[in-house]
Structure 1
Amino acid sequence: MIGKKRKLGERIEALQVGQSYTTSHIIEDKDLLLYLGLTDDANPLYLQHDYASQTPYKRPIVPSVMLFGMVTSTVSMHLPGPGSHITRHEITFPKPLFHYSEIKITLEVIAIDIENHEATLSAVGFDAEGDIILQGKLNVSPAYEPESWTGSSLENFF
C-alpha cells in the first residue's frame, strides 16, 4: 500500500460555486433486496404489493434511506469525490419513487467555506416524469491532501 496512488476527490481549493454533477439510476429488484438484506427492514410498504395496493401509494415504494444512500454515494464517488465526508444533511422526500423507476440526482456546490474545510451542496432528485422526489442540502468535508507516506517512512534511520 505504501506509495500506491489513490484517486481522491476535489480538494476544497478546487471546488467552485455552481459546479455540479448529475447521475441516474434505475431501481431494480437486486438494489431493493440488497438494501433490505443489509438493513433487515421488512416494511410491507417496501415489499408487499398486496399491502401497498391498499395505501395511497397503490404500489411498493423505494425506501427514502435507500435514496439518500444514492445521494451519499454520489458525494463519495463524484462530487467532491473519494475522501469526502458528509457532516450534515437536510433532505426531504416530497413524492415517493416506485420500484423499477429511474431516479436522476443532481448535486451542486452552492457555498464554500475554505476556513472550515466545508462545502455546501444542494441535492435534488427527479423521477422519469420530472417530478422532484428528493431535495435538500448537504455539508461536506472534501478530501484532505494526504501526507506523504514515503516522506516519513525513513525517519527512524536518522
Structure 2
Amino acid sequence: MLDNLPRGTICIEDIEMGMSRYLQKVITDEDITLFAQVSTDHNPVHLDDDYAQDTIFQGRIAHGMLTAGLISAVIGEQLPGHGTVYMSQNLKFLAPVRPGDLVRAEVTVVDIEFQKRRVKLDCECTIDGKKVLVGEAMVLAPSRKFD
C-alpha cells in the first residue's frame, strides 16, 4: 500500500515555511529482500528469522536506510519534487521497523534561502504516530528561472 499526495515539482518560488508532504508505505518482506540485494547488506537481522529472534530486536527488522529511503522519496517526488538535488541529510533511528509495519514518512519546510534555492526540511518517519526516525535535510530546490 502506498498512500501519498500528488507527485511532481514545487519550485523554490512557490515553497513556503511550514509546507509539508508525506507518503505512507507498508514495509514488506519483498522490500527488505530487494533492499538487501541492491545495497549488498545481508545482515541476518534483516533476513533470518531464527537469527533475529536472538537479538535485542527479538525478530527481523527492516534496514534503517530502507526506512530513510522513504524520506528521499518524499523529497524527490513531492517536496520540492522532481529536479531537487540532495545536499545533506542527518538521521537518528529511534525504533525498529518490522515487516508489515505501515510507515508514514513526512518532510516539513523549516527554513528557506530563496537566493541560493536552499530548503531545510525536518524529516520524520512514524508508525502509528510513534517516531521511528527523525532528521533534517538540506536540498537545492528547482526553479522556474532555470527551465
CA-based RMSD: 1.6
TM-fit CA distance, 1:145: 3.1
| Alignment: residue pair count | 141
**Structure 1 counterpart of 2:64:** 64
**Structure 2 counterpart of 1:21:** 21
TM-fit CA distance, 1:147: 5.2
Q: Does structure 2 retain, via aligned residues, the 8 Å contact 1:32–1:62?
A: yes
Larger Cα Rg: Structure 1 or Structure 2? Answer: 1
Q: Does structure 1 retain, via aligned residues, the 8 Å contact 2:13–2:143?
A: no
1:94 and 2:94 correspond:
yes
TM-score (norm 1): 0.84
TM-score (norm 2): 0.90
What is the 5 A alignment of 1:78-89? 78-89=78-89
1:145 and 2:121 correspond:
no
**Structure 2 counterpart of 1:153:** none
TM-fit CA distance, 1:11: 1.2
TM-fit CA distance, 1:144: 3.3
TM-fit CA distance, 1:51: 0.9
1:109 and 2:106 correspond:
no
Q: Does structure 1 retain, via aligned residues, the 8 Å contact 2:117–2:142?
A: no
Percent identity reads: 22
Q: Is there any run of 5+ residues in structure 2 with no aligned partner, and where?
A: 1-6
1:99 is paired with a residue whose SS is coil
- C-alpha distance in 1 between matches for 2:90 and 2:75: 14
Letter in 2 for 1:142: A
- C-alpha distance in 2 between matches for 1:32 and 1:117: 35
Question: Which structure has greater strand proportion?
Answer: 2
Q: Does structure 2 retain, via aligned residues, the 8 Å contact 1:80–1:142?
A: yes
- C-alpha distance in 2 between matches for 1:27 and 1:52: 17
